[in-house]
Structure 1
Amino acid sequence: MSHNETATLKNEGHSLSTSNKLFNRNYLMLFQGQFVSRLGNSIYSIAIMIWLKQITDSGTVMGIFAASTALPMIMMSAIGGAVADRFPRKAIIVGTDVVSGLAMLFLAATFYANLPPVYSIAGVFIAGLIMSTMRAFFGPAINAAIPDLVPEKRISGANSMGKLSEKFSQFFGYFFGSQLLMILGLPILVIANGISYLLSAFSESFIHIPQRLPEKTKGVKAYLRAFKTDIGEGLRYIGRNRGLKKLLYLSISTAFFSTPIMILLIFYVTDFLKLGEQWFGYFLIDFGIGSLVGTIIVSIFNVHGATRKFFLILFLIFEAVGYVLLGQVSSSEQALALVFIGGVMNGFTTISIFTLMQIT
């Protein structure tokens, strides 16, 4: 969540939702739209990782791909937060999904053009950069919108349901992704992912998102000054809020250290454990199921205060230790057990950090 979104929530003080139910019409439309795009993206994610390994067999290339697709989202997240505060969030959500869908269809066209593999790889990188940039705007808009789509007491539940949607879509996507890659080929899967984004945008176009917009500014220079002011206010708010600053550092550091593990997992499975590529999907499913269990634990027990802080720190330590132990085991059963435990820890910590940042 960006600095400015947090400031916005703090300033508004309460949810703008007029419904007293979690599963109201607006939230359901958003939920189903996200599920469709997440399912398509999960299938695409595993397929593109397997395809890149088959084409390049290079951990360096895959690492560069991961870094290049993550950097735009990191660098532009503050701008994305300011945009989410100053422009209609519905337009941002729908627009970014449309652009992501078109980027996928453009990538599919490069595959059908029968170009040398290097051009297809370049297309994958370009599409990844575009989609990462879109997520830098989509994420803050979604995060800022959810508290105004559901009652304040249901925000944690909405976050958990969003995580459940993500994990179920990943479960089906990772399970069928490698098989669909072999049966249909990557171009068809890329087209399907593009269509899923466009369907998501269509569903989201029917959502009404209540929002207090600031007074409109006139001229490009005025907008730039307003963005600079918004970003500065957000940074100052973070600086004044000691707890929020720690949460932000924690969120960034966990993402920084955990992402390479997921990227290199395919090499761990195929080169270290000597298993087939389809096992990469099984390991991702295993992690996803564990994360789903962790999410359910958050929803059921709904811990607060010092208790949440204790379990958050404890589970972060357990997750880190589990990743270290992965290099010490040689059987698939032991590795699957460690990955599952890591998923449980990850699900709990992700939702806990996310909820704390929204309500702080």
Structure 2
Amino acid sequence: MKNANLFSNRNFILLWIGQVISQLGNSLYELAIMWYILQKTGSSMAMGVSVVCYTIPTILFGLVAGVFADRYDKKKIIMFSDLINGIIMLLTCFFIAKDMISIYGLYLIMILTSSVAAMFSPAISSIWPLIVKEEDLTKRNSLSQITNRACTILGPVLSGILLAAFHIWILFLINGISFLIAVLMESFITVPAVNKRKAVNEKFFFQMKEGILYITKTRSLLHLVFVGGLIINFFLAPLTIYSAVISKNLQRGSVGLGMLESSVGIGALAGGFIIFLGVMKNKYKIAIAGLALEGIGLMGYGMFSNSFYVILVFASVIGIGVSMASVGISTLFQTLVDKDKMGRVMSALGILCTISVPIGTMCCSAVINYCPVGIVLLISGIIVTISAISLIPIFKDRITNKIDEEKTSVINY
């Protein structure tokens, strides 16, 4: 690619703008559908079922989606996925406006949109390394982190305003239109071809498991997945529950919980800007520093769980760490994994992370019934910090720039 920098890259700009618009629309939809389910049923259990409807398709279809992303035209996959979700949203808008949909219909919509998203995710993850220069991937990922966090902060605020001013079907209409805008933007990008000769000749089911095999065959990649995927997601998944318990213990109520969650979001935004501005450039250092900050933040959360304003600071530290770790680990995978296997590897990583979140939430939620939340947070922070430090000897040469990391591939098949 001959573009001078990230913002002169036409493919990147078109795809990025389309994704920002659809992400903002989706953030409106996510709050709206949860609110609609609560209003329709008055049951928190129904909301819990909706979370399951979001999660299961990722686990069931993730590996299949990864194979499709590596076998077929990635641009067509993301366009088709966004088009289908756009149509689903517009149909849902109509059914809600006419009061023609039941709670089970909403569950079906969640399953369908989540299934389509499962197909979309490995394809879009595989496209970025193809249209963005390797030296610009860290900046691209940090920009994605910034916009993702901005959407998660702005989305609920805008959703609340729109829900108060208009009927709920308006939010589904906006989300549907945002998907169609994304399709339009995607139609103008050019994605370089990847050699698929070997992929086409291999059996489909072999390719399904190849993403996991690819990870397990290399010690450094396996260690990175274990620490940056499984361990971190396991211990960070219950953070909102911890925050809710602490806010209740300190008699801060829902306002306190909102402040703690906002502090994490603000920290994540700050972390994205830190990387985007080039304060840290080595992707290995960014990943390890981010993971370590998550651990330090959890330890601070635990040690000062009786001081609300102190833990606000540590909540921001966790946010900075989350942002840095996400950017660093994403960039590592995008540069270390062979391009023709990117979809399978990214979908395998996504499944492992998805599975660890509910397990971590259930386990840690059960433990705080018998152990003070501060102790649980402190122990979690220590484990996360030690895990982050364990990556240093694995990537020692790359951290110190002793080898040409830009040309290094994890596995040669």
Higher relative contact order (CA 8 A, sep 6+): 1
Give the corresponding residue for 1:66: 51
> 2-side partners of 1:121 and 1:257: how far apart?
32
Give the residue type in structure 1 aligned to 2:316.
F
> 1:125 deviation in Å?
1.9
User: Contact 2:57 / 2:118 at 8 angstroms: preserved in 1?
Assistant: yes
Give the corresponding residue for 2:18: 33
User: Contact 2:271 / 2:324 at 8 angstroms: preserved in 1?
Assistant: yes
> 1:56 deviation in Å?
4.3
> What RMSD, in angstroms, separates the aligned Cα atoms of the two structures?
3.3
Which consecutive unaligned segments of at least 5 residues does structure 2 have? 337-413
User: Contact 2:267 / 2:317 at 8 angstroms: preserved in 1?
Assistant: yes
> 1:301 deviation in Å?
2.5
Give the corresponding residue for 2:379: none
- Identity within the alignment, %: 28
Q: Structure 2 vs 1, CA of residues 312 and 342 (structure 1 numbering), >3 Å: closer, same or farther?
A: closer
Matches within 5 A, 1:88-107: 88-107=73-92
> 1:286 deviation in Å?
4.2
Q: Secondary structure of the residue that 1:301 maps to in structure 2?
A: coil
Give the residue type in structure 2 aligned to 1:251.
G
User: Contact 1:174 / 1:285 at 8 angstroms: preserved in 2?
Assistant: no
> 2-side partners of 1:292 and 1:202: how far apart?
28
User: Contact 2:272 / 2:324 at 8 angstroms: preserved in 1?
Assistant: yes
1:133 aligns with 2:115: yes
Give the corresponding residue for 1:292: 269
Give the corresponding residue for 2:325: 349
Q: State the TM-score, normalized to the length of structure 2.
A: 0.70
1:316 aligns with 2:298: no
> 2-side partners of 1:109 and 1:269: how far apart?
40
Give the residue type in structure 2 aligned to 1:161.
L
1:358 aligns with 2:343: no
Give the corresponding residue for 2:191: 209
> 1-side partners of 2:241 and 2:95: how far apart?
24
Which consecutive unaligned segments of at least 5 residues does structure 1 have? 1-16
1:160 aligns with 2:138: no
Give the residue type in structure 2 aligned to 1:171.
I
> 1:287 deviation in Å?
3.2
Give the corresponding residue for 1:75: 60
Give the corresponding residue for 1:19: 3
Measured against aligned partners, the alpha-carbon deviations of 1:87-112 in whole angstroms (never above 9, x if no partner) come to: 11100111111111122122223312
Q: Structure 2 vs 1, CA of residues 196 and 282 (structure 1 numbering), >3 Å: closer, same or farther?
A: farther
Give the residue type in structure 1 aligned to 2:196.
P
Give the corresponding residue for 1:6: none
User: Contact 2:63 / 2:209 at 8 angstroms: preserved in 1?
Assistant: no
> 2-side partners of 1:273 and 1:126: how far apart?
37
> 1:313 deviation in Å?
3.5
Q: Structure 2 vs 1, CA of residues 208 and 325 (structure 1 numbering), >3 Å: closer, same or farther?
A: farther
Q: Secondary structure of the residue that 2:203 maps to in structure 1?
A: helix
> 2-side partners of 1:322 and 1:227: how far apart?
47
User: Contact 2:88 / 2:109 at 8 angstroms: preserved in 1?
Assistant: yes
> 1-side partners of 2:42 and 2:301: how far apart?
23
> 2-side partners of 1:268 and 1:192: how far apart?
36
User: Contact 1:111 / 1:187 at 8 angstroms: preserved in 2?
Assistant: yes
1:239 aligns with 2:216: yes
Give the corresponding residue for 1:197: 179
Give the corresponding residue for 2:153: 171
> 1:38 deviation in Å?
0.8
Q: How many residues align?
A: 332
> 1-side partners of 2:236 and 2:39: how far apart?
23
User: Contact 1:319 / 1:346 at 8 angstroms: preserved in 2?
Assistant: no
